[in-house]
Structure 1
Amino acid sequence: MFHPLRVSEVERLTDDAVAVTFAVPPELREAYRHVPGQHLALRRGVRGEEIRRTYSICAPAVEAPGEPVLRVGIRLVEGGAFSTYAFKELAVGDTVDVMEPMGRFVLPPRAGHFAAIVGGSGITPVLSIAATLLAREPEARFCLIRSDRSAASTMFLEETADLKDRYPERFQLVTVLSREEQQSGLPSGRLDRERLSGLLPALLPVADIDGWLLCGPFGLVQGAERALHGLGVDRGRIHQEIFHVDAAPAPAAPAAAPAPAHATLTATLDGRSGNWPVREGESLLETVLRARADAPYACKGGVCGTCRAFLVKGEVRMERNFALEPEETEAGYVLACQSHPATGEVELDFDR
C-alpha cells in the first residue's frame, strides 16, 4: 500500500547520488517499521504514465515505540526517469507516494559472524543490516567487502567509517576501488570470481561465516556467488539482491510446454479472488493489473521481487528471475511480472 510522505531531508552523498529521508506520521509508524535490508517502492506520474522505482532503506531499524527512520540512497542513472527527478528536483517539503517496506533480503539481528560483498549502491541495504546488527547484538561480528569505482563515487563513506570507529573489534571494512589506486589497502581492480576466490580465504574463516550477503550489479553478485560455491559454502548461507542487470541473460528456465492458445488466470490478492483471460503476450502481472490496480509491483524486470506470488495451480514460464532464492522457486513461488502461462489454467496467490 502506498502513502504520501513528506520529504524531510535531501543530502548530497556524491556527485551522482543523494540520500532522501521521509517523515513518518505517528499513525503510520507501524506500517513503516522496517526489517533491516528491506526496500521502498516510490511512485510518481510523468505525462500520464505511472513510474515506480525501488530503493533500499539505508537507516538502521528502530524498535517500537520509536519513530522509524526512512532514508534511502538514490544513485543517478543516465536517462533514469525517477533518479533524475530525485537528484535534480526533489526538495524538502515535497510529497512522494511511498509503498510500505517490502523485501526478503534481510538479516534480523542475531549472534554470529556475517559477511557482505557489495558493489556501488548495493551498500544501501547492507548498511542498515550491519548498523542494526552491531547495535543490537553484542555477540555479532560483521565484515563488509565493498567495491566502488573511486573514492569520490563511494556512497555512505562516513557512515561505514563511523561503524569501524564505533565497533573496532566487531566490524571489519575492506574497500576495493576498480578505477583508482588507494594509498593503502588492496590493489585496484574488479572483484570478480577469480579475485574473490583468492581474497576471501585470506580475509575470513570462510567456512565459519554464518551468512553471506551479496548485493549490487548482476556481474559482481554472480561472480561472488560462484566464488563462494567454489570455496565450499552451502547455498543456504548465501543471500543475494541484484541492483542492476546490464543485459538480459538466458531465461530463468526453459518453457515446460508451448504457450496455450487460450489461458485463464485466477488470482487472490488481499483476500479477494478474481478470474480473467490472459491476453496474448502479456505477463500474469499485466493480466491482474487490468482488473486490480493494487497488484504489487515495482521494477517489472524480475529484480525486486515485489510481485512474488505462490503458484497454486498450473504451470508458468518465467523469463527472468533475479529476486527469488532457489528455495523459494522450489517451494512454488514465481515472479508475476516475468511469468507467462504454460497451461490453460493458472492460479496465483499473492497473499501467501
Structure 2
Amino acid sequence: MSKFYPLTVSQKQADTRDAVVLSFAVPASLQAQFHYREGQHLTLRADIAGEDVRRSYSICSAVQDDQLKVAIKRVAGGVFSNWAHDVLQAGATIDVMPAMGHFSLPTNGIAHKQYLGFAAGSGITPLLSIIKTSLLAEPDSQFTLVYGNRASSTVMFKEELAALKDMFMQRLKLIYIMSREQQDIELFNGRINEEKCAALFGQWINLSDIDMAFICGPETMMHAVSNSLQQHGMAKENIRVELFAASIPAHRHITGVKPLLGKSSCAVTLIMDGQHTHFEMEKDRESVLDAALKLGHEMRYSCKGGVCSTCRSKVVAGKVDMDSNYALEDYEVARGFVLTCQSFPVSDTLTLDFDSEN
C-alpha cells in the first residue's frame, strides 16, 4: 500500500476552465493493487523543479467503470495543480499510490436506501464516484445531491451529472445552489450554510427518509451542513465527511504546552507492508512522520495537514498527542487510529501499524 507505481496518463480532458480529468492506464499486472472503492483517493507524486511533490486527489470514476480517473482543479499558487494543468500531458508517466480512504460505505445489491450528498466546487469528485457506484450497485436505492458553485460555468462534471440524471430519472435528484448566478427559485441562490440547509430540510428534503449523508467541501461548509443535519435529527454516525485539501487550515505545532513525562525521547517502531522499522526521536519536537522522513524512511503521506488520511496508522503500543484531525471518523479514533503527520509521541516507546484496517 505504501509503494508508488508508475502509471501512464492515458487521457487528459478539460472539464471546466480550471479543472481537468486525468485517466490512468492500469496494466493487467497492477489491477489487484489498484482495485478501489467509491469515495477513495489516489496520492500522486512528481518531481517538480527538483522537489518531491505529493498530492491526493479523489477518484471520480465508479467502481463499475473500467477506467481509473481523478479530477484536478487549478489552485492559485498550487504547485502540483498548476503543473498538472500546464505541463503534464497524456502519454506521460506519473507515480501513483494505490487507492486509500474511508469516505464510503459497502454497497448491498438488495439495499433500499435513501442517500443524501452535499458538495461544493471540487468536492463533487468523490461524491460523483459514490453516487454512480451506489445507484448502479443498488437498484432500489435513491440519491439526492445538493451541489454548490459560483455559477453554472464552474460546475464540474455538469454533463456527466446530467447523463446520470437521464439514466436514473426517478432515483437521482439534483439540486444546484449558485452563489453568483441568479436562479428562478430563490432557495437555490446563495451559499450552502446552516440557514440554507434548514430551508432545504423544511421544503425539499425529508431527513426522516435519509439513511446516510455524505459531505465534501470547504471546512466552513462541511461543519455547517453536519451541524444542521444533526440539529434536524440525523445521528452523527450516519454522516460521512471529507474535507478537500485546498481547505487545509494553517497549523504549527507549539512545543512545551504539556510537560514531558518519562524520557525526553521515544523509541518508535513502524509496521508497514509487513516490515518493522525502528528509530529514536525526540518528544514534542516534530511529528512521527517528519522524524521518519528526516531519517530517510519511505513513508505514506500527502497533505501533511491532517486532511487526506494517507498517513493513517494504528497505535498498537504507547501514546501520541494528535494536533489536528480532519480525516478520521470518531469511531476510527476510538479504535486507536491516528494521523502520523499530526502525531507527537508522549510515551517512551511507540508502535504504529500502517497495515491495520480495523
Q: TM-score of the superposition, structure 2-length normalised?
A: 0.91
Kindly state the Cα deviation for residue 103 of structure 1 after the two structures are TM-superposed. Answer: 0.8
The answer for unaligned runs of 5 or more in structure 1 is: none
Aligned to 1:29: 31
Aligned to 2:150: 149
Aligned to 2:281: 278
More displaced 10-residue stretch of structure 1: 179-188 or 304-313: 179-188
Equivalent pairs counted in the alignment come to 346
Residue 201 of structure 2 aligns to which amino acid in structure 1? L
Kindly state the Cα deviation for residue 77 of structure 1 after the two structures are TM-superposed. Answer: 0.5
Aligned to 1:240: 241
Aligned to 2:103: 105
Conservation of the 8 A alpha-carbon contact between 1:175 and 1:186:
no
The answer for unaligned runs of 5 or more in structure 2 is: none
**2:44 is the alignment partner of 1:42:** yes
Deviations 1:206-234 (A, max 9, x none): 12211110111111111111111111111
Deviations 1:192-216 (A, max 9, x none): 1122123124222212211110111
Conservation of the 8 A alpha-carbon contact between 2:248 and 2:305:
no
Q: 2: CA distance between counterparts of 1:150 and 1:230?
A: 29
Residue 190 of structure 1 aligns to which amino acid in structure 2? R
Residue 30 of structure 1 aligns to which amino acid in structure 2? A
Aligned to 1:19: 21
Aligned to 2:318: 314
Residue 273 of structure 2 aligns to which amino acid in structure 1? D
Deviations 1:18-42 (A, max 9, x none): 1111111111112212111111111
Aligned to 1:211: 212
Deviations 1:39-87 (A, max 9, x none): 111100123321100011111113xxxx841111100001111100111
3-state DSSP class of the match of 2:147?
Answer: strand
Aligned to 1:84: 82
Aligned to 1:74: 72
Deviations 1:278-302 (A, max 9, x none): 1462211122334564321111110
Deviations 1:132-173 (A, max 9, x none): 111221111001111111111110001111111111110010
3-state DSSP class of the match of 2:313?
Answer: strand
Residue 308 of structure 2 aligns to which amino acid in structure 1? C
> Compared with structure 1, are the counterparts of its residues 166 and 184 closer, same or farther at alpha carbon in structure 2 (3 Å cutoff)?
farther
More displaced 10-residue stretch of structure 1: 195-204 or 114-123: 195-204
Conservation of the 8 A alpha-carbon contact between 1:109 and 1:133:
yes
> Compared with structure 1, are the counterparts of its residues 179 and 232 closer, same or farther at alpha carbon in structure 2 (3 Å cutoff)?
same
**2:312 is the alignment partner of 1:296:** no
Residue 165 of structure 1 aligns to which amino acid in structure 2? D
> Compared with structure 1, are the counterparts of its residues 194 and 47 closer, same or farther at alpha carbon in structure 2 (3 Å cutoff)?
same
3-state DSSP class of the match of 1:41?
Answer: strand
* C-alpha RMSD of the superposition: 2.1
Structure 1 residues 50-199: aligned runs within 5 Å: 50-62=52-64, 68-110=66-108, 111=111, 112-184=113-185, 186-199=187-200
Kindly state the Cα deviation for residue 255 of structure 1 after the two structures are TM-superposed. Answer: 7.1
> Compared with structure 1, are the counterparts of its residues 38 and 255 closer, same or farther at alpha carbon in structure 2 (3 Å cutoff)?
farther
Aligned to 1:231: 232
Task: Work out the percentage of aligned pairs sharing the same amino acid.
Answer: 38
> Compared with structure 1, are the counterparts of its residues 166 and 7 closer, same or farther at alpha carbon in structure 2 (3 Å cutoff)?
same
